[in-house]
Structure 1
Amino acid sequence: MTGRAPLVVVGDVLLDRDIRGVASRLAPDAPAPVVDVTDDLSRPGGAGLAAVLAARSGREVVLITALGEDRASNRVREVLDGRVRLVELPLEGSLPVKTRVLADGRPLVRIDRGGGQVGLPDAEVGRALADAQAVLVADYGRGTAQALRPLLTDSAGRVPLVWDPHPRGGPPVPGARLVTPNAAEATALCPDGGDSLAAHARRGAELAERWGAAAVAVTLGERGVLLTRPLSEAPMLVPAPYRAVGDPCGAGDCFAAVAASALADGGLPEEAVQLAVAAAAAFVSAGGACDRDLWKTSPRSASARPAGGDAFATAASVRARGGTVVATGGCFDLLHAGHVGLLDSARRIGDCLIVCVNSDASLRRLKGPGRPLNPLEDRVRVLAALGSVDAVVAFEEDTPQALLGLLRPDVWVKGGDYSADDLPEARALRGWGGQAVVLPYLDGRSTTGIADRAARAASGARSAP
């Protein structure tokens, strides 16, 4: 486990089924296309998808939702097992199943069935929310958020709470740190004004005031996101980093999940929105919720935790554009000129730089008692503030090799005067076609040396008359 409090996702889970195929002819008995099926995927949707996306970088995630004893509920439990921790409310009835039939990537028809009554929460639900570092509510209007509304109101007063609203759901609880309606949802709630950026900005500010939210982020698809505040006339537009081509299903869940994770790590709403916009674009480009790799691969290692940006989303975004992913690693206990020079040089090699940093426990095992000098959270914030660094991710093990197997960077960079072939990571990199390289290190700079000089200076000051 990461040692940090979990992100708690609250909301309605559905079972999403996507039947994909090719339509090249019409049925003989009706003017309807015949779909020759090439793929059939059933997966958690709604709050279940949001929880999986929040957990894919290794963050501990607790999902509070209503499940029954039907086949769809059991399928959701099966897929979520090992990815998130489930805290269940009783469901009287069956879990909703949403089936899409797509031909050549385009939806032909959607079939909805099932539904039930959400029961009352128990003490375990209250404990999960009390232990949360942040809360994400995915309210699809099927009863989970309403059943927990008093508890969610209390949570909003204690920790960052992100509310992802939907047309059938209720209003967010007062005090939400961030609410994330899309343009259509915001327009339905505030219908006047048209589709201009100015109109959406006014809607966002009005909704923030109406809901008592600290900020509202109106997602605008390819145009990006407008971050607004109550009665403010100075919104911030965060454009999409590129035009993402792919199935947008689940992009809103991805946006909300990454934003909630960023707020849980201590980020500001502005930082959270910027990270979430980039992650949503990468998610769509990679195939969205229908990307089989999202469901086939093993859950991310619990020891790899996101910080200073979602490293996996950053890597996916760069790969989707055909770019080069560069990674480096170390303790970075006291950031000095040698570190900065190495990171600047590493960033120039490719299209993004991901820094893998030792956790506090890992660093202590490596460097001995008295270390780290700076806790992980501080080290990550300093690294993430550098212009050369695109994302930071921590690992608990003694080496980053397990983490590299998940990130699969194209280039692994180390500083020093040894051969790249001597690096223990080199063999793993070759396994997926990557390359380990060594860059020259600025001589005479080291954390240990700086710490020793500081200790001698402090000792001299104490002994002076």
Structure 2
Amino acid sequence: MSSHTDSRTDPRTGPRHHRRTRRGSGQQPLLVVGDTLLDQDIDGEATRLAPDAPAPVVDVRHHRSHPGGAGLAAALAARDGRTVVLVTALGDDQASDTVRQALAPRVHLVELSLDGTLPVKTRVRAGDRPLVRIDDGGGTPGEPGDAVREAFADAGAVLVADYGRGTARAVRSHLHTAARRAPVLWDPHPRGDTPVPEVRLATPNAAEARALAPPAAEPATGDSLRAHALRGAALARHWQAAAVAVTLGERGAILTRNGSDSPMLVPPPHPATGDPCGAGDCFAAVAAAALGDGALPEEAIQRAVAEAAAFVAAGGAGNPRLWDPQSPAPPPAHHCQDPFTLAAAVRARGGTVVATGGCFDLLHAGHVGLLESARRIGDCLIVCLNSDASIRRLKGPGRPLTPEADRVRVLSGLGCVDAVAVFHEDTPETLLRTLRPDVWAKGGDYTAETLPESAALREWGGQAVTLPYLAGRSTTELARRAALAPLTPPTTTRP
């Protein structure tokens, strides 16, 4: 039995002190409960077979280790600066000490003793492809003490990252109580415990949902969306959960509410290629944090799908920047990139940076045609967008009709737009001098000679061009027609 005692459970530095600082900041902690693992990645190249057996020989290039399981979920939940408390079982072994060292700067640890050693999961990869996985170690969590009880009492939301190693079972009575007063998200495992009744959301992946669905309630087989939705509905009833979201990898997630026959499919905002290891933990962490912030399950799933896709694209749990304490927290997930980083990267590889600009207050067919044409000129398209204050100065106090954040989101959702940069001046010239695009494109209602940005483009050898523009489309005309449209449909009289 582990004899490790964590000084952070002292009343001066433990949950009681943590509760006072939280109430001063106005946000309750997110409590993560579950089994922590140590994940190890051994990366190398395999170009030959061993002389004594038909097995590949891996020449190791990198050897990395980081917390996995509930430890990874807690670290991911803390990336946005929120307070996260992790209840998990750790022992006196080297793997446990490695996990403590990695998690201590990020989350508040409340430990159960561990009789045994921390599980270690080792992946050997060659050319970024897994060759073999080795699982080692394991132990039994001890009984929870007062520090665990206080952590539950203080939680604003709870994430159960159940990897079937016994932590959720050890604190099950606390989870029963928590589910009656706070949102609980349960990320299940086939070898783990059944979620307690009344959890707000359960998040099995497709394989877990297939394994966990009650046989008598299995209404469909196969990999169709209908089959996944029916399994989710059956699990919601079986677990007495408010909702179940079955995660489907590159297809996103399908959400089913208990008692509803209308599932909601949430696809990812963009295709994500990369290492999927840890994507489920990222999904659960983001969704649990969103529920703790007051989001509905539908909103939480949308955030979680987007963040999980960005997580995979960035390299998954093996991304070294994830564990670099100097790395800033990532921005909200989005397929659009940072415009300045994008421009520098495209220039560095000899590509052509294209930029265009405007208010884009009510996006219409003329705008879309212009943007698609501009994107075809080069290797990326950056939209320079007038801020709300800039538009008010240019168009008057009644504008913009669509606020800046919404305009950014609409433009970013277009496949032809690679990045959006907002400027606050009356013209984008200052922004352009920083971006230094090769081409500045505007609609055919201008000429290249009369574009006010042309002089700035010549400073670094850029070119201003005009593109065809659909006549008769304008925000002003759309607003006029909307103002004249009846607010209610006309009544009709049946003969």
User: Normalising by structure 2, what TM-score?
Assistant: 0.65
The one of 124, 128, 134 equivalent to 2:147 is 124
CA distance in 1, matches of 2:204, 2:384: 30
1:141-152 to 2 correspondences below 5 Å: 141-152=164-175
1:140 is paired with a residue whose SS is coil
Counterpart code for 1:8: L
Is 1:39 paired with 2:67? Answer: no
Over 3 Å counting, the alpha-carbon distance change for 1:5 and 1:211 in structure 2 is: same
Over 3 Å counting, the alpha-carbon distance change for 1:111 and 1:62 in structure 2 is: same
Counterpart code for 2:287: A
Q: Tell me the alpha carbon deviations over residues 196-223 of structure 1, each in whole angstroms, 9 at most, x when there is no partner.
A: 1111111101100111111000011122
How far did residue 3 of structure 1 move? 3.8
How far did residue 410 of structure 1 move? 7.7
Is 1:87 paired with 2:110? Answer: yes
CA distance in 2, matches of 1:186, 1:297: 36
The residue aligned with 2:323 is 295
Q: Tell me the alpha carbon deviations over residues 395-440 of structure 1, each in whole angstroms, 9 at most, x when there is no partner.
A: xxxxxxxxxxxxxx9876453579997x9xx99x99xxxxxxxxxx
Is 1:4 paired with 2:27? Answer: yes
Kindly tell me the number of residue pairs found equivalent between the two proteins.
357
Counterpart code for 1:188: A
What is the RMSD computed on CA atoms of the aligned residues? 3.5
How far did residue 384 of structure 1 move? 11
The residue aligned with 2:331 is 312
The answer to whether the Cα contact below 8 Å between 2:408 and 2:420 also exists between their aligned partners in 1 is: no
Over 3 Å counting, the alpha-carbon distance change for 1:352 and 1:261 in structure 2 is: farther
The answer to whether the Cα contact below 8 Å between 1:118 and 1:143 also exists between their aligned partners in 2 is: yes
Over 3 Å counting, the alpha-carbon distance change for 1:166 and 1:226 in structure 2 is: same
How far did residue 92 of structure 1 move? 1.3
Over 3 Å counting, the alpha-carbon distance change for 1:73 and 1:420 in structure 2 is: farther
The one of 230, 245, 253 equivalent to 2:258 is 230
Counterpart code for 2:30: L
The answer to whether the Cα contact below 8 Å between 1:324 and 1:352 also exists between their aligned partners in 2 is: no
CA distance in 1, matches of 2:154, 2:85: 10
CA distance in 1, matches of 2:324, 2:154: 30
Counterpart code for 2:424: G
The answer to whether the Cα contact below 8 Å between 1:286 and 1:320 also exists between their aligned partners in 2 is: no
How far did residue 284 of structure 1 move? 0.6
CA distance in 2, matches of 1:49, 1:288: 11
The answer to whether the Cα contact below 8 Å between 1:323 and 1:350 also exists between their aligned partners in 2 is: no
How far did residue 256 of structure 1 move? 0.5
Is 1:75 paired with 2:98? Answer: yes
CA distance in 2, matches of 1:322, 1:111: 42
The answer to whether the Cα contact below 8 Å between 1:57 and 1:300 also exists between their aligned partners in 2 is: no
Q: Tell me the alpha carbon deviations over residues 333-362 of structure 1, each in whole angstroms, 9 at most, x when there is no partner.
A: xxxxxxxx79989xx995899x9xxxxxxx
The answer to whether the Cα contact below 8 Å between 1:344 and 1:388 also exists between their aligned partners in 2 is: no
Is 1:136 paired with 2:155? Answer: no
1:197-236 to 2 correspondences below 5 Å: 197-236=225-264
Counterpart code for 2:336: V
CA distance in 2, matches of 1:314, 1:231: 31
How far did residue 313 of structure 1 move? 3.9
Over 3 Å counting, the alpha-carbon distance change for 1:313 and 1:275 in structure 2 is: same
How far did residue 321 of structure 1 move? 12
Query: Tell me, which stretches of 5 or more residues in structure 2 are unaligned?
Result: 1-21, 344-358, 364-370, 372-380, 388-401, 411-417, 436-495
2:80 is paired with a residue whose SS is coil
1:248-397 to 2 correspondences below 5 Å: 248-298=276-326, 312-314=331-333, 317-319=335-337, 386=406, 388-389=408-409
Higher relative contact order, structure no. (Cα contacts within 8 Å, ≥ 6 residues apart) = 1
Q: Tell me the alpha carbon deviations over residues 113-135 of structure 1, each in whole angstroms, 9 at most, x when there is no partner.
A: 11111011111111111111111
Counterpart code for 1:291: N
CA distance in 1, matches of 2:63, 2:266: 35
The answer to whether the Cα contact below 8 Å between 1:324 and 1:351 also exists between their aligned partners in 2 is: no
How far did residue 261 of structure 1 move? 1.1
1:35 is paired with a residue whose SS is strand
Over 3 Å counting, the alpha-carbon distance change for 1:300 and 1:175 in structure 2 is: farther
Counterpart code for 1:245: T
Over 3 Å counting, the alpha-carbon distance change for 1:344 and 1:256 in structure 2 is: farther
The answer to whether the Cα contact below 8 Å between 2:243 and 2:297 also exists between their aligned partners in 1 is: yes
Counterpart code for 1:51: A
The residue aligned with 1:452 is none
How far did residue 85 of structure 1 move? 0.9
CA distance in 1, matches of 2:30, 2:51: 52
Larger of the two Rg values belongs to structure: 2
The answer to whether the Cα contact below 8 Å between 1:134 and 1:161 also exists between their aligned partners in 2 is: yes
Over 3 Å counting, the alpha-carbon distance change for 1:140 and 1:99 in structure 2 is: same
1:314 is paired with a residue whose SS is coil
The residue aligned with 2:85 is 62
1:266 is paired with a residue whose SS is coil
CA distance in 2, matches of 1:24, 1:322: 39
Counterpart code for 2:44: G
How far did residue 312 of structure 1 move? 2.0
The answer to whether the Cα contact below 8 Å between 1:343 and 1:388 also exists between their aligned partners in 2 is: no
Over 3 Å counting, the alpha-carbon distance change for 1:63 and 1:3 in structure 2 is: same
The answer to whether the Cα contact below 8 Å between 1:222 and 1:243 also exists between their aligned partners in 2 is: yes
The one of 25, 49, 52 equivalent to 2:48 is 25
CA distance in 1, matches of 2:427, 2:332: 32
1:141-180 to 2 correspondences below 5 Å: 141-180=164-203
Query: Tell me, which stretches of 5 or more residues in structure 1 are unaligned?
Result: 302-310, 326-340, 356-381, 391-408, 431-465
1:116 is paired with a residue whose SS is strand
1:247 is paired with a residue whose SS is coil
The residue aligned with 2:209 is 186
CA distance in 1, matches of 2:339, 2:428: 31
The residue aligned with 1:415 is 424
Counterpart code for 2:300: A
Over 3 Å counting, the alpha-carbon distance change for 1:411 and 1:204 in structure 2 is: closer
Over 3 Å counting, the alpha-carbon distance change for 1:312 and 1:201 in structure 2 is: same
